[in-house]
């Protein structure tokens, strides 16, 4: 999830609170629409003064008492504040056992009581990544049940945000089970665990169940979170060494589009220096925020989808132009602030609660977090009394200075050595497929020409067109029909089949009949002289 503050508030208000926000949203929208009319008279130029007027006005409407009423119930607060703390067990920090080379004991100790999770084998615990601040990353690992683990591809899943818990990926997207408050746990028919081992990590420090004892322990840049991830992975592999030879793929969704390549680059450098024995094979990027050039024309996406009209587009254009100016000048904090206001304005103008899939009124994410109020669950997954935050806004704000950092150079280097799958949900407004694709077109690596000249084919799933794909130069780009920002949640079956094919290097399905490019060009040329009755 790539999360502006207003989107987080609107999403979480329907997940964990009994606050009725429809009236509040109606008032907010009424105010922003009224502001449209006034703004036409004031925002005619792209001066900084007018831009300031625009986004301050938007901010004022978004942070009035209605907004505060909603945020008081947000998941950034401890969702288990009222639980008893007497029987939750103790947070299991495995690093001391690893340092004492008690690997078998660490493995036995971190095994999850499968009684509470449909009998599915898994392991969880904490790995210390900074002793000075007692900073620890939480992991939950599910070994493959199909074949030997050391020969089965495994995937490290990193959620975005920044500050969004990878437990969302586990429970709402690709994990072996899903959760509904009234129905409990049930097996996920579209899980990637069918033919992969899965490792979910709450990253950066402070996200989900991960924690630090000091505000200085929060991550502020790519260098730090890549170092933390590598440290956690290195420790994890001492407990599960059979995974060293298994084909590894690192998956990053949304802002995880920075986490995944940064971890992959750490591994790559260590492999070149013979510091680690690990079978890294590739990356899986889902609606990934990799480079700020992919978010420079957000208004165009809403306009092209028909969610705002030309008059409304003109209202927000000065703000977007100022946002692009901050990107050009590398003013990261200012750019993130204006991006927040821009997304807020576009969501309110289009009468939506979020910008992840415009065909969905609500995003049913995070319902699983009520599980973590249960003492037996906390004991089973070894988190003790550590607070859980589905989205930690402190983590989000601490990373504001690196909002404009680009993982493009990392991707260009990694593509020389590893395969990359970049999939995108067609209906996503936050990371629009067209802008992501245009961004890939600016990448420079030895296989760029092969990729740019590759033919685009339909992606078939269960006999139907599930999307479109092209491959070349180790890069495979896929647009998934009918899906939004979180593809595995919206198109689970297609995503499962796509990833299984990619990790086994099996060609993605193509139709039996494909129109040749030359044939199509000839058809179009001849058609210019045709008369249709």
Residue 64 has pLDDT above 60, yes or no: no
Let me know: does 53 contact 43? Beta carbons within 8 Å: yes
456 vs 475: CA distance, rounded Å:
13
Rounded mean pLDDT of the chain? 85
Mean pLDDT across 1-20: 47
Expressed in angstroms, the distance from the first to the final Cα of the chain is: 50
C-alpha distances (whole Å) from 211 to each of 16, 28, 80, 91, 202 are 22, 35, 15, 11, 9
How is residue 471 written in tokens?
């491959």
pTM of the model: 0.86
Question: For helices 310-328 and 22-42, what crossing angle results, to 10°?
Answer: 80
The pLDDT score that the predictor gives to residue 82 is: 36
- Secondary element (H or E) of residue 32: helix 22-42
Pairing assessment for the beta strands 464-472 and 475-480 based on DSSP bridges: antiparallel
Name which of 481, 460, 489 is nearest 188 in CA terms.
489
Name which of 408, 441, 400, 444 is nearest 292 in CA terms.
408
Mean pLDDT across 4-26: 42
- Chain segment 111-144, per-residue pLDDT in tens: 999 999 999 999 999 999 999 999 999 999 999 9
How is residue 224 written in tokens?
């730090």
Name which of 388, 77, 365, 83 is nearest 209 in CA terms.
388
What sign does the dihedral 312-315-318-323 (CA atoms) show?
negative
Going by pLDDT thresholds of 50, 70 and 90, the confidence category of residue 71 is very low
Domain borders along the chain are 1-68, 94-293+365-503, 308-351
- Secondary element (H or E) of residue 425: strand 419-425
For the chain, the helix, strand and coil percentages under 3-state DSSP, each to the nearest 5: 45, 15, 40
54 vs 389: CA distance, rounded Å:
32
- Chain segment 416-469, per-residue pLDDT in tens: 999 999 999 999 999 999 999 999 999 999 999 999 999 999 999 999 999 999
282 vs 288: CA distance, rounded Å:
15
User: Cβ atoms within 10 A of the Cβ of 287, count?
Assistant: 29
Spatial neighbors of 187 by CB under 8 A, at least 6 apart, are 118, 176, 177, 178
Going by pLDDT thresholds of 50, 70 and 90, the confidence category of residue 74 is very low
- Chain segment 487-528, per-residue pLDDT in tens: 999 999 999 999 999 999 999 877 665 666 666 667 566 665
What sign does the dihedral 343-347-350-355 (CA atoms) show?
positive
Let me know: does 79 contact 372? Beta carbons within 8 Å: yes
414 vs 264: CA distance, rounded Å:
8
Mean pLDDT across 33-44: 41
Catalytic residues, which ones?
Answer: 254, 428, 485
C-alpha distances (whole Å) from 196 to each of 82, 124, 157, 191 are 37, 17, 12, 9
Pairing assessment for the beta strands 475-480 and 419-425 based on DSSP bridges: parallel
Let me know: does 495 contact 251? Beta carbons within 8 Å: no
- Considering the four listed CATH numbers 3.40.50.2020, 3.40.50.9100, 3.40.50.1820, 3.90.180.10, the one that applies to the domain covering 94-293+365-503 is 3.40.50.1820
Let me know: does 36 contact 349? Beta carbons within 8 Å: yes
Task: Show the CA angle centred on residue 366, arms to residues 143 and 171, nearest 5°.
Answer: 20
Instruction: Give residue for tokens 């692009």.
Output: 324
Residue 55 has pLDDT above 60, yes or no: no
Name which of 94, 259, 117 is nearest 188 in CA terms.
117
Gyration radius (Cα) of the chain, Å: 23
What sign does the dihedral 334-337-341-346 (CA atoms) show?
positive
Residue 218 has pLDDT above 90, yes or no: yes
How is residue 265 written in tokens?
């680059």
How is residue 32 written in tokens?
């922003």
Mean pLDDT across 268-279: 93
The pLDDT score that the predictor gives to residue 362 is: 85
């Amino acid at each position: 999830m790539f999360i502006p503050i207003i989107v987080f508030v609107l999403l979480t208000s329907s997940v964990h609170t009994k606050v009725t926000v429809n009236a509040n949203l109606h008032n907010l929208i009424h105010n922003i629409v009224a502001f449209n009319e006034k703004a036409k008279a004031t925002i005619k130029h792209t001066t900084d003064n007018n831009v300031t007027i625009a986004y301050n006005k938007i901010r004022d409407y978004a942070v009035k008492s209605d907004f505060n009423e909603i945020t008081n119930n947000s998941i950034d607060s401890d969702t288990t504040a009222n639980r008893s703390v007497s029987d939750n067990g103790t947070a299991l920090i495995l690093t001391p056992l690893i340092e004492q080379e008690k690997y078998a004991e660490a493995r036995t100790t971190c095994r999850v009581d499968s009684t509470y999770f449909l009998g599915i084998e898994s392991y969880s615990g904490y790995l210390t990544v900074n002793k000075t601040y007692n900073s620890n990353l939480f992991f939950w690992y599910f070994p493959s049940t199909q074949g030997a683990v050391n020969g089965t591809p495994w995937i490290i899943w990193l959620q975005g945000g920044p500050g969004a818990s990878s437990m969302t990926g586990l429970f709402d997207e690709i994990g072996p089970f899903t959760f509904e408050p009234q129905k409990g746990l049930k097996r996920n028919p579209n899980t990637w665990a069918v033919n992969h081992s899965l490792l979910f990590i709450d990253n950066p420090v402070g996200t989900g169940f991960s924690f630090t004892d000091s505000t200085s322990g929060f991550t502020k840049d790519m260098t730090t979170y890549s170092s933390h991830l590598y440290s956690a992975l290195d420790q994890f592999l001492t407990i599960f060494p059979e995974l060293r030879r298994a084909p590894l793929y690192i998956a990053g969704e949304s802002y995880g589009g920075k986490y995944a390549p940064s971890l992959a680059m750490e591994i790559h450098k260590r492999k070149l220096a013979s510091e680690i024995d690990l079978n890294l094979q590739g990356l899986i990027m889902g609606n990934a925020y990799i480079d700020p050039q992919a978010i420079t024309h957000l208004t165009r996406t809403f306009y092209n989808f028909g969610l705002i009209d030309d008059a409304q587009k003109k209202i927000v254009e000065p703000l977007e132009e100022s946002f692009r100016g901050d990107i050009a000048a590398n003013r990261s904090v200012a750019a993130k602030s204006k991006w927040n206001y821009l997304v807020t304005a576009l969501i309110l103008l289009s009468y939506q609660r979020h910008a992840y899939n415009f065909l969905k009124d609500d995003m049913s994410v995070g319902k699983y977090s009520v599980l973590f109020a249960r003492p037996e669950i906390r004991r089973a997954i070894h988190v003790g009394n550590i607070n859980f935050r589905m989205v930690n806004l402190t983590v989000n704000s601490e990373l504001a200075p690196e909002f404009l950092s680009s993982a493009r150079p990392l991707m260009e280097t990694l593509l020389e050595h590893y395969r990359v799958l970049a999939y995108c949900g067609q209906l996503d407004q936050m990371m629009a497929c067209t802008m992501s694709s245009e961004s890939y077109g600016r990448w420079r690596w030895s296989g760029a020409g092969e990729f740019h000249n590759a033919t685009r084919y339909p992606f078939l799933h269960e006999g139907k067109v599930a999307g479109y794909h092209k491959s070349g130069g180790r890069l495979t780009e896929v647009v998934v029909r009918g899906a939004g920002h979180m593809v595995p949640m919206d198109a689970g079956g297609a995503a499962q089949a796509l990833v299984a094919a990619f990790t086994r290097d099996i060609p993605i399905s193509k139709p039996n009949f494909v129109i040749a490019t030359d044939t199509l060009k000839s058809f179009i040329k001849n058609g210019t002289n045709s008369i249709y009755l």
